Amino acid sequence: MKNKILQKNREAGFVLLFAVTLASLLLAIALGVANIALKEVKFGTNARDANEAFFAADTGIEKVLFNDRSDNNSYVAVSGQTFTWDNIVVSGLGGTGKSCAIVKITKDDRRIAPVTAMITTIVSKGYNTGSGLSGSCSPTDNSVERQIVSNY
């Protein structure tokens, strides 16, 4: 009788050990899958934020180029001098309307040899967040920034 009780206890111990081992294995697999899924979500979010910032910077450049090349030229430099227009804000961009761009345009008309034409430099910094209701662009510490420079 005593041997039967010991054998049942050993079998119960083995079943308990097997159940704990199986549960640990399933938990490890579930944690691995959850970790991969979390990394994919972060990667997708980073790619979206980078696209929003890049296209905001591109839109900022396009706006300044349009104003500079149109008949009502907003940025006119005096011959022989350099002029800079800072903080031209383009807001309300992107899919959610939270993207914005801060653009700087510099016109150098000093025409120092060998350059015989005016040099225009446009620097546009686009942000995925930071666009306020008042048309401002105040990026936060968590904003993604992309910069585009155009010379002509």
Alpha helices in the chain, H assignment, sequence order: 2-69
Choose among 119, 67, 152: nearest CA to 59: 67
Distance CA 120, CA 45 (A): 35
Q: What is the dihedral of CA 24, 29, 30, 32, to 10 degrees?
A: 120
Structure tokens at 58: 């591109």
pTM: 0.68
Give 5-14 pLDDT, tens digit per residue: 556 666 667 7
* Closest by CA position to 143, among listed 102, 84, 87, 82: 102
CB atoms closer than 10 angstroms to residue 80: 8
Q: Could you report the per-residue pLDDT of 25-73, keeping only the tens digit for each?
A: 999 999 999 999 888 887 777 888 889 999 999 999 998 888 887 766 6
pLDDT tens track for 83-122: 788 788 888 887 788 888 999 998 887 777 776 777 888 9
pLDDT score of 72: 67
How many other CB atoms are there within 10 angstroms of residue 141's CB atom?
4
Q: Using only C-alpha atoms, what is the Rg of the chain?
A: 31
